[in-house]
Amino acid sequence: MKRTARPRWKSLGVDRLLRHALRHWHADEGWRAIEALQRRGSPALLARVVALCASPNVRRRAVGVSIAAQLSRRTPAGIALYAEEETQRLLLRGLADPHHDVVRAAVGGLGLRPHGESVQALLRLTSHPDARMRWQVAVALGSYEEPETIAGLIRLSVDPSDEVRDWATFALGSLRMENSPEIRAALRRNLDDADLDVRGEALVGLARRRDDSIVEALIERLTPDCHVYELDAAEALADSRLVTALEALAQGDTSPEEDPWRERLRAALDACRGPR
């Protein structure tokens, strides 16, 4: 059987990459082409992206906004955002698009290129019927500093989707460092969530705020089958009351010397024992 060679994305020209992106939209091949284009920021490509975003064709608009979302170029110092102001304008316009594929691409881009004018639209999208859209909104809101975005993340932290609750709880607990009663209440509520990752992110978020009301719950969770969440929470809390439970874990630990779990356990013990 004849084998078809896979495209060498780095060697393909812009025209061929755009054809792949448009022909295979929503498929892996299309996304690989978009990712290759995203790293080729230039005036010529930006002009093509602007034209795509203005197209009457939904697919062309979605591809254009997807490229704009992470348009960058290589510099001597590494990869840097390209044409940030121009692409932000394209993303803001994409938020008002009538098709959800274009809107979702714009939301993803505004998480990487935050703009204050997008906040109200993002907050409205926290109640969108598509869980993929709400997840993208949760990811984006974690990059914003505007105080009103906290309310959106708290709303998403009780979302029906495990993935949405997980990211919203992570954003509240670890990406944002405000320490309001509302945030702590949202994190405490998720300590008993049905999803393991949501519970873990809530625990870490409260520990990072040095909320010692979780000490007893954390001691109960520091068992041989605990996860890195509990160890990270213990390190962040740095409470001497956790030493006994952590030492018991260390005594029974048979993991390899360089195992990441063992490294996290050591770090937690050092933090809770305090300065020597």
Domain boundaries, the chain: 9-94
- Per-residue pLDDT tens over the stretch 185-228: 999 999 999 999 999 999 999 999 999 999 999 999 999 989 99
pTM of the complete model:
0.90
List C-alpha distances in Å: 89 to 69, 70, 94, 107. 11, 13, 9, 12
Per-residue pLDDT reduced to its tens digit, 66-124:
999 999 998 888 889 999 999 999 999 999 999 999 999 999 999 999 999 999 999 99
- Spatial separation of the C-alpha atoms in residues 163 and 152, rounded to whole Å: 16
Comparing CA positions, the residue from 18, 40, 39 lying closest to residue 30 is 18
255 pLDDT tier (thresholds 50, 70, 90):
confident
Per-residue pLDDT tens digits for 7-44: 566 778 999 999 999 999 888 989 999 999 999 999 99
> For residue 51, which amino acid is it?
A
Note the helical H segments in the chain.
14-23, 28-38, 43-53, 58-69, 84-95, 100-112, 119-124, 131-141, 149-156, 162-170, 181-189, 196-208, 215-221, 228-237, 243-252, 260-273
Alpha helices in 74-161 (DSSP H): 84-95, 100-112, 119-124, 131-141, 149-156
